[in-house]
């Protein structure tokens, strides 16, 4: 799935921590340049959830999401 489609979901979904985790994994792996193992997925989800006050990661601007994700690249 492309990054663009990770941010635009046409379906009605009951959002939860699990859907947020799936969204983050899909987004970080979308270009093929990184894998879920390169990021602290749980911390990204926790911070994004706190900022959006929602489990729907589409509530965040893409630039905000990527700023959060880039803060949790594993060394």
Residue 12 CB burial class (10 angstroms; 0-12, 13-18, ≥19): exposed
Domain that holds residue 12: 3-71
The answer to whether residues 39 and 68 touch, using CB atoms and an 8 Å cutoff, is no
pLDDT band for position 12 (50/70/90)?
Answer: confident
In this prediction the pTM is 0.81
Q: How many domains does the chain have?
A: 1
Q: Could you report the per-residue pLDDT of 18-31, keeping only the tens digit for each?
A: 999 999 999 999 98
CA distance 57 to 51: 10
> What distances in angstroms separate CA 45 from CA 1, 20, one per listed residue?
19, 6
């Amino acid at each position: 799935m492309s990054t663009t489609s990770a941010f635009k979901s046409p379906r009605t979904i009951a959002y939860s921590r699990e859907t947020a985790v799936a969204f983050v994994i899909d987004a970080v792996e979308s270009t093929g340049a990184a894998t879920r193992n390169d990021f602290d997925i749980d911390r990204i989800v926790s911070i994004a959830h706190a900022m959006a006050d929602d489990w729907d990661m589409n509530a965040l601007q893409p630039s905000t999401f990527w700023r959060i994700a880039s803060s949790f690249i594993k060394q």
